[in-house]
């Protein structure tokens, strides 16, 4: 009996493991296409945007800037404010009002100890 319950729990976890994979890919494409200008006159390139949608509707976004981008790590809070406006709008228009932006994590490739997380 214990084995059957364990197998059922394992099976259901596999079924629900990718609940929002499609929506995450859609948001990643939208964010890449409509990424805002963070600083005028600066060459800021993206290495990766990763979106993770939680079961409670919270959306976590990780933005990694490419090596050689002209980002100022001291201005991450300004970047996060600009990005949050765009991300919140895209989340609401793509997923609906049951989903919300939980956090944005900013990181630059090749720079140590620069990762910052902003919660909303």
The whole-number pLDDT of residue 7 equals 52
Residue 4, pLDDT > 90, answer no
Give the whole-number percent of the chain exceeding pLDDT 70. Answer: 85
DSSP-derived 3-state class of residue 97: coil
Domain ranges of the chain: 19-119
Tell me the pLDDT band of 13, cut-offs 50, 70 and 90: very low
C-alpha to C-alpha distance for 99 and 91, rounded to whole angstroms: 7
> Helix 21-33 crosses helix 76-95 at what angle (to 10 degrees)?
130
Averaged pLDDT, 25-45: 92
For residue 56, which phi and psi values (nearest 5 degrees)? -85, 5
Between 18 and 44, name the one with better pLDDT: 44
Averaged pLDDT, 32-58: 93
19-119 homologous superfamily: K homology (KH) domain (3.30.300.20)
Q: Does the pTM of the predicted model rise above 0.85?
A: no
Strands (E), 22-70: 46-53, 58-65
Residue 9, pLDDT > 70, answer no
């Amino acid at each position: 009996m214990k084995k059957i319950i364990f197998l059922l729990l394992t099976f259901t976890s596999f079924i629900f493991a990718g609940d929002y994979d499609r929506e995450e890919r859609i948001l990643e494409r939208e964010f890449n296409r409509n990424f805002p200008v963070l600083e005028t006159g600066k060459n800021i390139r993206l290495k990766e945007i990763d979106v993770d949608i939680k079961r409670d509707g919270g959306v976590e976004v990780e933005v990694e800037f490419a090596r050689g981008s002209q980002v100022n790590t001291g201005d991450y809070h300004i970047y996060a404010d600009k990005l949050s406006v765009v991300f919140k709008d895209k989340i609401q228009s793509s997923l609906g009002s049951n989903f919300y932006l939980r956090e944005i994590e900013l990181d630059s490739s090749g720079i140590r100890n620069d990762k910052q997380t902003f919660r909303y």
